[in-house]
Structure 1
């Protein structure tokens, strides 16, 4: 079901490939008798439909012939190789020669190899068992030993690669869609190396968000990107914006809507939309309702891509992208926000929630900033784990902490860690019912209050009704209370530091 390994590793495997112009995007390797009239044919047509230049060698030419130089050249001149490993794949010496050359091109030329395990177990391919075993009994008798060993090595290597494992539990069309999507997206990555080269863990969110966009559909869609601050909403929107922008007649990326709306009002933002999309500097907006009329009248027949970044109020959306019928068929409006309710109130078609980085990607990002390397230095392993736990997968926190720690000694790291731990750790995971009970006692309308905090990305309800709040937000709340009275802890609404509590109780200075 889907990729056998974390798909976030996929771009890096192709990023090493040569930037030289390739003759083909994809080379298809398959056993015709198994897949020619079903999976392979459907995959080939799906790739062709996406404009992906695919080489499919004619099975009829294979009969009684050794693999020719033209075919070897086609493999060499392809960026990707999709290998459909069906039950009788190993019965064809032609297929095995193809595979051996593909693995050679992977190692020597950076080709990206994508195996499809066509109703066979990857471990059977890897260990040459079942239908991958019997052919080798005959090969050992007839073929050159060195040639047979190359085939075995190639099967072992391809069996270890991340790929798609076709099973009866889901339609083949889903696997085909994912394969074509991965290749299409990776080809777009080549066009924007500067944008994506230093981004960690971006691949999977980009794939998911691009799927939400459904660019081929002719309807008008509003897509919200929702998460707390520092999660990478703007970065994700910008990457996808650049990758799909060529599919639209015109485009615009409106940054910092919240800040600019507060500082300068609505009209400059409306004017920027008109300027970016129509490229008409003479069309001036007089006031905000004039802006509404001009956006609606001038853009209603255009297929546009518009990003409204960091929106926090319904009025902003009402004045900048009011209704679906403001825009032409095929238009996509991407809106990033911290408040889910703002997106829901505007009637967006899809809300995509940006998640924190997984452990592997969090470590990679932290190391890139703290050490300017891809791995943790030996003396810093335990300390790094503490900082990773503190950052909780939040990209901005990982970048800030890593950059701050760069070049510092392990002693300095320990001092920074102690400073962060000035507030003793509490259990931030509590049962929802327990939290509701506490808030209810305080008369704080907990049911509405919790929903509001969740919508604003300040809380999450996890598995088993556990309530989660990010450590950094917890610390921000404590700092706000600390600012109530810097010099006299007794005048603050809450206490948590042992020394402060001790002083207040000892001198009876509490409020």
Structure 2
């Protein structure tokens, strides 16, 4: 009976079914070297065929045995004393040598207790056997040739202890297999560099136990890479095991069965010989050998705990390789190194696709453009390239065109289902989070959708991290949500389900043409749609063609359609077309309502109850006149009414709302009053910027300990009431800039112990009084164009807060001596703006301002001398300084990025020094990194200061 080793070792490449075929004379070697060699090969993860049947002398070899020879990549021929006495063996050898010539099979002869020359020349017993065959009138020429050719091949001669010799054979077979795999594997396109990088991280020759994780999205080549490195290095370990599909196999067979599989492979024992309970045995026995263990496609921490519990399970020099889609599992396991699988570049992708689609490594001219479209679609994902290649193989050009056109709407199920494995492992809230990002937020800065995701209770802070760890999304350095194109398409595939052409049955709607289709039946209740994004004012002829009967804009029926979406969690709509929401708008699951630039005059008529609404954003609704009663919105946390030009009436209920955290009514020029604040105990942010008809700050009648930000910038208030100092004691930011009618601040700044930012820019009528203004530990202080006809003594003698990072004293009429010499002790100061003042010199040294990056002295018409600058300076502006003659520019200003000076100032020594500095900067750019040297990058950096 024939038997073959079974293991989790990855299937041989190309058409090989077996790694090794053993050819031997059973009577000589079956129960000695061949039995031991077979076990050693199998334990090494080498799939080996060994025939266990004996044929009577003279019987013809079976067809099944010939097929086994043809399906083996390597043939190991064990020549023994009586090998030639079996015509069956000679028939095997003849067929093996034929496969060597025609199929590229590798043949390794083993000379067991026989001299190789006897085989080559058919001498002694081999000669006697052939004399007998010739006497029987058998055709032996082909057998003689096969023996001669095999005997001339490089092989191994049995010498010394048999165990040592068997190790030598296994090592030779492993090496020959590795060479074959690395040189002839259609699935391993682009493997060379990735394999080398992984081997480097594995540090095979070093001691200690290393666990290495291979992480990335499904179909990205993790298993292929792990299999390739396993094949190449397994011969260097005492015991090896490649457990493939751990996720699937643990579900089918259980973890205890997989533990037995590992022990069986590593200890070279049959599973039947192992005890029933191996949970304790696996830990104690693995540490006795130098082991190579690959756990492929792990998706649960319990799998790792059961199969590779910790580093101390293994002996010195052992290596454990784990492939997974979930980075979090690798962090839990405390692996030494995590390798993020890199997808194929365009050239590699094209080569892999062409091998599958065209059965060659390069494109046929007629298919070149179409092939590149497939490569663009796959975005380097090997899974997609293989599936598409197999799909298009043997198809004509017109079928390729048709298949690619279909992909736009209907992706290939094989690809989607494989990618969907990661999604299926998510928790329910994580699934909602992923689908929202895939459908709405890819390419957006994460801060924008964060508010929506938080409002809907999706807990994005922890959820986004989980999605990143599972390789479903990424967040770029710029803070943009991103993902692989096919991962996004998989999200769309899930949303559409079995109804790709029926958007009313989708859970999420984001395409304008789908919105228009839904509006065709606005009166039907909808229990499918959970999230909706629409830009109602967009002209949509490009989606519908030029048919004059096609809809151009979202119709007014959209209002009724939205009201009937009973499962809606959030809606974001630009240019909502109606003047109010529908009478039956009663969406109890709605958490986020954003209607930007709408035509609303009022949100709704009468009272509404939206028990879960947390965010209401009507910004840009220039026709909006009044707000609704807020009593029916008990969970409301944020109100955004920015740019509502005609807004006049704020319902008094807002002043009693206990859950509101933020209210922003910036740029509402018609707003004159705001209701008294009597119950807004959670309010943190209140903004009235540019409400230039607002002349009185709302009355505060309660402690507002949560208030941290208040902006009255650009309003008409004349007095800042004492209630702010009394009730808003935790205020961090107070913006009173451009309050041109402001005359007094009726509270002592000593009360605002946490104030970090104060803006009094342009408060021309404000007289600076003691009131502790200069005793607060500000980080940002802006006193631009504030009245300083008689500067406060604190400026001259006491100076400013040592925690200041940004100080603006633009156009404050400061003269010589008006600024305290203690200015030089502001060691944290990064930005100093003294533009438009009247001093001729700064009577303090700036050299000690070691953090100073930006210095602005422009329009200081009396300035004659520029002080010495610290090394940290990056931006210097001193244009329109007509009398400036002396500029101290040390040569070690290595961070200097921009200088703005008048041309007449740049002459003589100053000009030469600047030219020298510029040359050094140009030479030094590559060293500091091109990215950091880009002007726009530097500009962005200083905008943040």
The normalised TM-score by structure 2 is 0.33
CA contact (8 A) 2:210 2:336 kept: yes
| Closer, same or farther: CA 291–194 of 1 in aligned 2, 3 Å | farther
1:150-229, aligned counterparts within 5 Å? 189-190=178-179, 192-193=181-182, 196=185, 198-229=187-218
In structure 2, C-alpha distance between the alignment counterparts of 1:343 and 1:407, rounded to whole Å: 42
| Closer, same or farther: CA 340–441 of 1 in aligned 2, 3 Å | same
Structure-1 residue corresponding to 2:485: 471
Structure-2 residue corresponding to 1:422: 409
CA contact (8 A) 1:196 1:239 kept: no
Structure-2 residue corresponding to 1:276: 265
Q: CA deviation at 1:507?
A: 1.1
1:288-367, aligned counterparts within 5 Å? 290-367=277-354
CA contact (8 A) 1:423 1:497 kept: no
CA contact (8 A) 2:440 2:510 kept: no
What does the per-residue CA deviation read over 1:419-455, in whole Å, with 9 as the maximum and x for residues that have no partner?
1112799994332333434423433222211111010
| Closer, same or farther: CA 397–285 of 1 in aligned 2, 3 Å | farther
CA contact (8 A) 2:441 2:449 kept: no
Structure-2 residue corresponding to 1:384: 371
CA contact (8 A) 1:459 1:468 kept: yes
1:108-127, aligned counterparts within 5 Å? none
Structure-2 residue corresponding to 1:394: 381
The structure 2 residue matched to 1:480, chosen from 494, 499, 505, is 494
Q: Secondary structure at the match of 1:251?
A: strand
In structure 2, C-alpha distance between the alignment counterparts of 1:472 and 1:505, rounded to whole Å: 30
Shifted more, 258-267 versus 378-387: the winner is 378-387
Q: Secondary structure at the match of 2:489?
A: helix
Q: Secondary structure at the match of 1:352?
A: strand
**2:458 aligned with 1:444, yes or no?**
yes
What does the per-residue CA deviation read over 1:430-482, in whole Å, with 9 as the maximum and x for residues that have no partner?
32333434423433222211111010010122343332212222222222222
Q: CA deviation at 1:359?
A: 1.3
Q: Secondary structure at the match of 1:295?
A: helix
Structure-2 residue corresponding to 1:236: 225
In structure 1, C-alpha distance between the alignment counterparts of 2:255 and 2:269, rounded to whole Å: 19
In structure 1, C-alpha distance between the alignment counterparts of 2:369 and 2:225, rounded to whole Å: 31
Structure-1 residue corresponding to 2:518: 504
Structure-2 residue corresponding to 1:372: 359
Q: Secondary structure at the match of 1:477?
A: helix
Runs of 4+ in structure 1 displaced over 3 angstroms? Answer: 186-189, 191-198, 423-428, 484-489, 496-501
CA contact (8 A) 1:485 1:491 kept: yes
Which runs of no fewer than 5 residues in structure 2 stay unpaired? 1-174, 412-438, 527-564, 566-945
Q: CA deviation at 1:406?
A: 1.9
In structure 1, C-alpha distance between the alignment counterparts of 2:179 and 2:514, rounded to whole Å: 56
| Closer, same or farther: CA 217–195 of 1 in aligned 2, 3 Å | farther
| Closer, same or farther: CA 276–243 of 1 in aligned 2, 3 Å | same
Task: Supply the RMSD in Å over aligned alpha carbons.
Answer: 2.7
| Closer, same or farther: CA 427–358 of 1 in aligned 2, 3 Å | farther
CA contact (8 A) 2:219 2:383 kept: yes
Q: CA deviation at 1:235?
A: 0.8
Q: CA deviation at 1:187?
A: 9.5
Shifted more, 316-325 versus 495-504: the winner is 495-504
What is the count of residue pairs matched by the alignment?
A: 324
In structure 2, C-alpha distance between the alignment counterparts of 1:196 and 1:371, rounded to whole Å: 16
CA contact (8 A) 1:195 1:239 kept: no
The normalised TM-score by structure 1 is 0.59
In structure 2, C-alpha distance between the alignment counterparts of 1:283 and 1:416, rounded to whole Å: 54
| Closer, same or farther: CA 198–226 of 1 in aligned 2, 3 Å | closer
Q: CA deviation at 1:189?
A: 4.9
CA contact (8 A) 1:371 1:407 kept: yes
In structure 2, C-alpha distance between the alignment counterparts of 1:449 and 1:486, rounded to whole Å: 28
**2:480 aligned with 1:490, yes or no?**
no
| Closer, same or farther: CA 323–195 of 1 in aligned 2, 3 Å | farther
Q: CA deviation at 1:191?
A: 5.2
Structure-2 residue corresponding to 1:454: 468
CA contact (8 A) 1:292 1:320 kept: no
| Closer, same or farther: CA 267–387 of 1 in aligned 2, 3 Å | same
| Closer, same or farther: CA 480–192 of 1 in aligned 2, 3 Å | closer
Shifted more, 194-203 versus 263-272: the winner is 194-203
Which structure has the larger Rg over C-alpha atoms? Answer: 2
Q: Secondary structure at the match of 2:252?
A: helix
What does the per-residue CA deviation read over 1:400-435, in whole Å, with 9 as the maximum and x for residues that have no partner?
112211222222222212211127999943323334
| Closer, same or farther: CA 325–454 of 1 in aligned 2, 3 Å | same
CA contact (8 A) 1:461 1:468 kept: yes
| Closer, same or farther: CA 470–220 of 1 in aligned 2, 3 Å | same
Structure-1 residue corresponding to 2:588: none
CA contact (8 A) 1:252 1:273 kept: yes
In structure 1, C-alpha distance between the alignment counterparts of 2:218 and 2:344, rounded to whole Å: 14
More helix by share: 1
| Closer, same or farther: CA 481–336 of 1 in aligned 2, 3 Å | same
In structure 2, C-alpha distance between the alignment counterparts of 1:414 and 1:202, rounded to whole Å: 30
CA contact (8 A) 2:186 2:352 kept: no
Q: CA deviation at 1:197?
A: 5.4
In structure 1, C-alpha distance between the alignment counterparts of 2:510 and 2:398, rounded to whole Å: 27
In structure 2, C-alpha distance between the alignment counterparts of 1:427 and 1:409, rounded to whole Å: 38
| Closer, same or farther: CA 427–319 of 1 in aligned 2, 3 Å | closer
Q: Secondary structure at the match of 2:321?
A: strand
CA contact (8 A) 1:202 1:236 kept: yes
